[in-house]
Amino acid sequence: MPLTPPAPDAELVDKLVVANRILYRQGVVDGFGHVSARHDKSPGHFLLARNMAPGLVRRDDIVTFDLDGAALDAGGRRVYLERFIHGEIYRARPMCRRSSTAIRRASSRSA
- Hey, which residues are catalytic here? 82
C-alpha 21/C-alpha 88 separation (Å) is: 24
CA-based torsion, 100, 50, 54, 102: positive or negative: positive
C-alpha 65/C-alpha 80 separation (Å) is: 11
